[in-house]
């Protein structure tokens, strides 16, 4: 499904309001003056509020996207879209892209 591309400055949160940022971006494609994120880039999560064991299995530390654009790539890697799905470790909860650039749409 078409959607806006994720970039380095996008606001992406874990399910517990932790801020997630890509650890690697593609410098070849820029949107809103910032590089786009690709499927292979792990995300680092900071500020997750889920308590550690034994109260829960948190906090979220990293995340990996498992879906991406099907037809848009940079340097051979699929770019991430606003509706791409990710899984946080160790909690297994999703990442939630909330604010992205609105101008470039991919599918």
Q: Which pLDDT value is given to residue 1? A: 72
The vertex-21 CA angle with 7 and 13, nearest 5°, equals: 100
Cis bond upstream, residue 59 (ω within 30): yes
Q: What is the pTM of this model?
A: 0.93
Taking the domains of the chain in order of start, what are their residue ranges? Answer: 3-101
Residues 77, 24 contacting (CB under 8 angstroms)? no
* Per-residue pLDDT of the chain in tens (107 residues, 90 and over written 9): 799 999 999 999 999 999 999 999 999 999 999 999 999 999 999 999 999 989 889 899 999 999 999 999 999 999 999 999 999 999 999 999 999 999 999 99
Q: 3-101 sits in which CATH class?
A: mainly beta
β-partners of residue 34 are 31
Q: Which pLDDT value is given to residue 44? A: 98
Q: Which helix (H) or strand (E) holds 30?
A: strand 26-31
């Amino acid at each position: 499904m078409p959607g806006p591309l994720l970039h380095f400055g996008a606001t992406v949160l874990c399910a517990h309001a932790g801020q997630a940022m890509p650890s690697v971006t593609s410098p070849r494609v820029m949107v809103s003056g910032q590089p786009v994120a690709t499927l292979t880039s792990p995300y680092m999560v900071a500020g997750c509020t889920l308590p550690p064991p034994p109260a829960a299995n948190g906090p979220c530390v990293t995340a990996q996207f498992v879906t991406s654009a099907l037809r848009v790539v940079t340097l051979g890697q699929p770019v991430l879209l606003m509706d791409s799905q990710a899984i946080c470790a160790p909690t297994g909860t999703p990442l939630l892209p909330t604010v992205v650039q609105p101008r470039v749409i991919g599918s």
